[in-house]
Amino acid sequence: MNEHGHEEWKQQLVKCIRCGTCRSVCPVFKEENNENTTARGKVQLLEGVLEGAVKLTPTLQERFNKCLLCKACVKGCPSGVRTDTLFLSARLTNANKNSLPLAKRLAFKGLTFRKLFDTGLRIGSVMQNVVMKKSDDGRGNQARFNIPGSGLDLRRIIPPLAAKPLRDIVPEKTTVTNPKGRAVFFPGCMLNYIYPEAGKAVVNILKRNNWDVTIPTDLSCCGTPAFTSGDQATGRELAAANLKALAGDYDVVITACASCGAALKNEYGEILQNESDHNAWQKLSKKVLDISEFVVKYGDPALFGALPMKVTYHDACHLVRGMDVSKQPRQVFATVPELDFRNMKDADVCCGAGGTFSMAYYNLSRRINDHKLDNAEATGASCLVTGCSACRMHITDGLSQRNSNMRVMHTAEIIDMAYQNGEKQKKGGKQV
Amino acid sequence: MNQAVLSKLKAIVGENHILTEFEDRYCYSFDSTFINSMPDLVIQPGSRDEIAAICRIAYANDIPVVTRGAATGLSGGAVPVKGGIVIETTRLNKVLEVNTSNFYAIVEPGTITQDYLAAVDKAGLFYPPDPASSKMSTIGGNIAECAGGPHGVKYGITRDYVLGLEVVLPDGSIVQTGNLIDGDMSGPDWTMLYCGSEGTLGVITKIMLKLTHKPQAKQTMMATFSAIEDAATTVSTMMASGVIPTTLEIMDNMTIRAVENFLNIGLPIEAGAILLIEVDGDPQAVEKHVQHVLKVCNDCNASSVKVAKTAQEADGLWKARRSVSPACGKLNPTKISEDATVPRSRIPEMVSAVQAIAKKYNLKMVIFGHAGDGNLHPNILSNKHDKEEMARVEKAVEELFQVALKLGGTLSGEHGIGYLKAPFLVWETGEEGFKFGKDVKQAVDPKSLMNPGKMFDYHDDKAV
């Protein structure tokens, strides 16, 4: 949906019967208790915009920014109003009118210069200690001082940039003999620069199931931060670049990041305009699989070894509602021997990260996160597993803030560990 | 609003609990109906005393006060049609007590109905009224609009469970009505005056509710009829025969088709109507009631009756009913939900009348209501942007009201009068009854500041 799609707005807006069901599902509303955060409130504001009663003011822009884009309202809406695409479109319209903050504009533009972006983050990896210091519990870094435009709260603990990005650890092409298929892996920025070990686990999983893996060098950021903030031009540019990089004779496109996956599988369809890009996307979309989907569909359960851990699982919004992935990781956990999986209450409720939301509204996102942590801790699990690095980062920060010992791991890491144990057992078995 | 008043109000509740920005007030200009009107100010007080202080200032300065909870009402009751201050009660959201020896609960008005139901359930007791909006509506709103729900057939509606209230009057004084023992008090039943008063007589700040035992067992059934008239006769026969189901819901052919189209669960799309019937009680009584229900359905030409064998099967039967709203939303976007209600014995006549009106005005009208208490919930599926059609809708609604009243019914089974039905209230009360209502309002709220423009304070000038 684009800015000029006012007819599309109308079609969606008229469906809202203002029943207020969104009040019962919106994590932001539950904290703020204010109708201006509900989906129906924002839908009415957009009706007002169409009627001319509401102007595209910076205040209005702020109201639309205060949304996690967690899609809980879309899922809960009895009338099927596509509030997610509506609100993205509203952000775009507002951004075109009021423009985005300079820091955001520069950052998004930077994403389109892939090599520059890559070099910047590599330099950042070396230089990060100038502005960041290690947190007391050693789990991550905290800003030494307020960094203008960074949106980084001084209390916030974020993981450091990895010393070596994923691409330096694993080759562009990993080949096996007699491959069962060819996978192309889209690691996305967070697995590449911050959590390369989780990215490596994905490659291991594919390799172990006897698939060829390619990580094309010219992949860019998926574009989610840009197009969800209203910078659709940058989002489109990045999408087109990625479609080109991913075009090849691959059987599956593997993602291990909720937002990248949802973008490749669904959201590119909303932002791409020209026909050839759209056609290319449709072909690609059908092949996109989250790594947990891959394991359920193509993985060999006999490879799993015992993994005696107590784990719980957090459904990332863009996995459960963006890619319809929630059964698959649980199916995998149920298959791994000795893995003690404990479902938490409200597992599919947003953790409060919401991308740039947690920068703009750190306190609010912390409060939302606290409910998640309470529910996770109530299960008695020692490790929280999730399929999204942004959730992982936010949840880890929350656990540090409350001095909890709970670990946070990526789904792929758990699967890879179970495979490793399987191999050890097999070897051990031979020895006996 | 003048600055002196504004700073006084800010001093009462604190800056954070007052909304003055245009964009925020805009979000408080509506409820679940299709009308809008802007408040001058939105206040979210945190206590009874703050509410009393707000009312005192409003009274001294002649400012209208509109109280709301979640604003999920269906009659325009929470829309500030004359502007003024909107008081949102949702910060008063505590279940103060659930008393298991004396079977009562004390609740703050902004408590979400579902949260209250969960607290009662946890204590092992039962509060029957179950409006469809219970996930988001507040208990204060339930009382102010006198909400009903599917359980109403057997257990009655909100009014039947209110023992007492604490109310802030228009001038800021505080009174308590009823008591925790039997709800009775010396003098007339003032509590009843506030049930369904829609914020026109003061602000409810504390609520005492009666509780009952949880039913030990229940059984869900679905009866299919080739003619809706037979389903309607089944309802009136069943209610007259002495076995009162917990729930007796009707779905007509258009609803069945819409739901089947939406869910694909094998509903009988050729059927004229379906009845969803639930009985509860102790296990032996339930078994007897099931046999009775089967007999009545068969006597009234049901083509089949399905009895759920497991809780899962029961849930499957309910799924169809729960999906009616989204399914109808696919047919036409604007759903105008009416709740004109007739005596149970007149249901067959009401069904024919609804069908005739739909035909006359060429409108898509579906019936899926709590037939057991005479509330058929005729819903008109329309498009609010189609001005010509909306004009026909308006005429059809008027005619619906007339028919219901002619059959000895009422304008509202559970949605309240609010703003949308206020123009027709006099049809039900008569001139003298209407004057009596106005006199009561005048006596309690002499300056007409409490939710003005609603119910007995209606004047013929439409909200924007």
Whether the per-residue pLDDT at A134 is higher than 90: the answer is: no
Task: Specify whether B139 is located in the same domain as B51.
Answer: no
Query: Nearest-5° angle of CA A394, CA A395, CA A399?
Result: 120
Question: Maximum CA pair distance of chain B?
Answer: 71
**Cβ atoms B224, B302 nearer than 8 A:** yes
Quote the tokens at residue B6: 């504004």
Q: Which of A8, A10, A24, A40 is the best residue to mutate to test the B interface, defined by the most B CB atoms within 10 Å of its own CB? A: A24
**Cβ atoms A247, A288 nearer than 8 A:** no
Cβ <8 Å between B70 and A18 = no
Task: Specify whether B381 is located in the same domain as B232.
Answer: yes
- Give the A:B interface size as CB pairs under 8 Å: 87
Q: What is the pLDDT along chain B (464 residues), one digit of tens a residue?
A: 799 999 999 999 999 999 999 999 999 999 998 899 999 999 999 999 999 999 999 999 999 999 999 999 999 999 999 999 999 999 999 999 999 999 999 999 999 999 999 999 999 999 999 998 999 999 999 999 999 888 888 999 999 999 999 999 999 999 999 999 887 777 889 999 999 999 999 999 999 999 999 999 999 999 999 999 999 999 999 999 988 899 899 999 999 999 998 888 889 999 999 999 999 999 999 999 999 999 999 999 999 999 999 988 998 888 888 888 778 877 887 888 888 999 989 999 999 999 999 999 999 999 988 888 888 889 999 888 889 999 999 999 999 999 999 999 999 888 999 999 999 999 999 999 999 999 999 999 999 999 999 999 987 654 33
Cβ <8 Å between A17 and B28 = no
pLDDT tens digits, one per residue of A196-231: 999 999 999 999 999 999 999 999 999 999 999 889
B24 interface with A at CB cutoff 8 Å: yes
- B464 belongs to a structural domain: no
Alpha helices in B104-240 (DSSP H): 113-122, 139-145, 152-155, 190-194, 228-240
Instruction: Provide the domain count of chain B.
Output: 4
Whether the per-residue pLDDT at A430 is higher than 80: the answer is: no
Task: Specify whether B152 is located in the same domain as B33.
Answer: no
Task: Specify whether B251 is located in the same domain as B312.
Answer: yes
Task: Specify whether B174 is located in the same domain as B302.
Answer: no
The CA distance from A118 to B281, in Å, is 69
- pLDDT of A128: 83
Confidence bin at A1 (pLDDT 50/70/90): low
DSSP helix/strand/coil, B52: helix
- B300 belongs to a structural domain: yes
- A147 belongs to a structural domain: no
- B332 belongs to a structural domain: yes
The count of other CB atoms within 10 Å of the CB of residue A35 is: 28
- pLDDT of A100: 80
**Helix H or strand E encompassing B348:** helix B347-360
The CA distance from B382 to A191, in Å, is 49
B310: which residues sit within 8 A by CB, 6+ positions away?
none
Last residue of one domain, picked from the residues B160, B195, B213 = B213
**What string of DSSP letters covers B453-464?**
TSGGG--S----
- B411 belongs to a structural domain: no
Task: Specify whether B209 is located in the same domain as B225.
Answer: no
pLDDT tens digits, one per residue of A169-204: 999 999 999 999 999 999 999 999 999 999 999 999
The count of other CB atoms within 10 Å of the CB of residue B4 is: 10
Backbone angles phi and psi of A351, in degrees to 5: -85, -5
- pLDDT of A432: 37
Quote the tokens at residue B84: 């003024």
B91 interface with A at CB cutoff 8 Å: yes
Per DSSP bridges, beta strands A211-214 and A181-186 are parallel
- A216 belongs to a structural domain: no
Of A3-12, A128-137, A179-188, A346-355, least confident by mean pLDDT is A3-12
For residue B336, the chain A residue with the least C-alpha distance is A17
The CA distance from A30 to B70, in Å, is 12
Residue linked to tokens 């495979």: A419
**Helix H or strand E encompassing B334:** strand B334-337
Whether the per-residue pLDDT at A2 is higher than 70: the answer is: no
- A52 belongs to a structural domain: yes
Task: Specify whether B235 is located in the same domain as B361.
Answer: yes
Quote the tokens at residue A94: 């507002």
- A398 belongs to a structural domain: yes
Quote the tokens at residue B238: 């069943």
The CA distance from A145 to A154, in Å, is 7
ipTM here:
0.92
Last residue of one domain, picked from the residues A34, A65, A98 = A98
For residue A60, the chain B residue with the least C-alpha distance is B23
Which residues from chain A sit within 8 angstroms of residue B384, using beta carbons?
14
Whether the per-residue pLDDT at A121 is higher than 90: the answer is: no
> Which residues constitute the domain of residue B323?
217-406
> Which residues constitute the domain of residue A348?
301-431
Q: Of B221, B374, B227, which Cα lies nearest the Cα of B300?
A: B227
pLDDT tens digits, one per residue of A393-409: 999 999 999 999 999 99
- B416 belongs to a structural domain: no
The CA distance from B23 to B221, in Å, is 48
- A264 belongs to a structural domain: no
Instruction: Provide the domain count of chain A.
Output: 2
- Start-to-end C-alpha separation, chain B: 20
Q: Which of A11, A16, A17, A66 is the best residue to mutate to test the B interface, defined by the most B CB atoms within 10 Å of its own CB? A: A17
Check which CATH number belongs to the domain holding B153 and give it: 3.30.465.10
- H, E, C per residue of chain A: CCCCCHHHHHHHHCCCCCCCHHHHCCHHHHHHCCHHHCHHHHHHHHHHHHHCCCCCCHHHHHHHHCCCCCCHHHHHCCCCCCHHHHHHHHHHHHHHHHCCCHHHHHHHHHHHCHHHHHHHHHHHHHHHHHHEEECCCCCCEEECCCCCCCCCCCCCCECCCCCCCHHHHCCCEECCCCCCEEEEEECHHHHHHHCHHHHHHHHHHHHHCCEEEECCCCCCCCCHHHHHHCCHHHHHHHHHHHHHHHCCCCCEEEECCHHHHHHHHHHHHHHCCCHHHHHHHHHHHCCEEEHHHHHHHHCCHHHCCCCCCEEEEECCHHHHCCCCCCHHHHHHHHHCCCCEECCCCCCCCCCCCCCCHHHHCHHHHHHHHHHHHHHHHHCCCCEEEECCHHHHHHHHHHHHHCCCCCEEEEHHHHHHHHHHHHHHHHHHHHHC
- Start-to-end C-alpha separation, chain A: 63
Q: Looking at residues A57-68, what average pLDDT do you find?
A: 95
Cβ <8 Å between B384 and A14 = yes
Strand-pair partners of B275: B223, B250
A363 interface with B at CB cutoff 8 Å: no
Which residues from chain B sit within 8 angstroms of residue A80, using beta carbons?
326, 329-330
Task: Specify whether B101 is located in the same domain as B209.
Answer: yes
Per DSSP bridges, beta strands A252-255 and A181-186 are parallel
Quote the tokens at residue A425: 């057992």
Q: Of B281, B262, B423, B376, which Cα lies nearest the Cα of B328?
A: B262
- pLDDT of B316: 86
Strand-pair partners of B304: B224
Last residue of one domain, picked from the residues B159, B185, B213 = B213
Last residue of one domain, picked from the residues A72, A98, A124 = A98
Q: Of B84, B87, B89, which Cα lies nearest the Cα of B40?
A: B84
pTM above the 0.95 mark? no
The dihedral formed by the CA atoms of B322, B323, B324 and B325, expressed in degrees to the nearest 10: 100
Task: Specify whether B255 is located in the same domain as B370.
Answer: yes
Find the CB nearest B136 among A24, A34, A48.
A24
- pLDDT of B413: 86
- B14 belongs to a structural domain: yes
The CA distance from B373 to B413, in Å, is 9
Quote the tokens at residue B462: 């439409």
Of A118-122, A158-162, B31-35, B108-112, least confident by mean pLDDT is A118-122
Quote the tokens at residue A238: 């990045």
Task: Specify whether B113 is located in the same domain as B82.
Answer: no
Residue B98 DSSP class:
E
Which residues from chain B sit within 8 angstroms of residue A34, using beta carbons?
19, 24, 27, 44
Check which CATH number belongs to the domain holding A311 and give it: 3.40.50.10700
- B413 belongs to a structural domain: no
- pLDDT of A142: 87
Task: Specify whether B206 is located in the same domain as B221.
Answer: no
Cβ <8 Å between A14 and B334 = yes
Residue linked to tokens 């330096």: A168
Which residues from chain B sit within 8 angstroms of residue A14, using beta carbons?
333-334, 383-385
- B414 belongs to a structural domain: no
Backbone angles phi and psi of A326, in degrees to 5: -150, -35
Last residue of one domain, picked from the residues A98, A118, A139 = A98
pLDDT tens digits, one per residue of A297-345: 999 999 999 999 999 999 999 999 999 999 999 999 999 999 999 999 9
Whether the per-residue pLDDT at A431 is higher than 70: the answer is: no
Number of C-alpha atoms within 13 angstroms, CB side, residue A303? Answer: 19
Cβ <8 Å between A79 and B326 = yes
Last residue of one domain, picked from the residues B50, B67, B88 = B88
A124 vs A221, residue with greater confidence: A221
Which residues from chain B sit within 8 angstroms of residue A78, using beta carbons?
325-326, 329
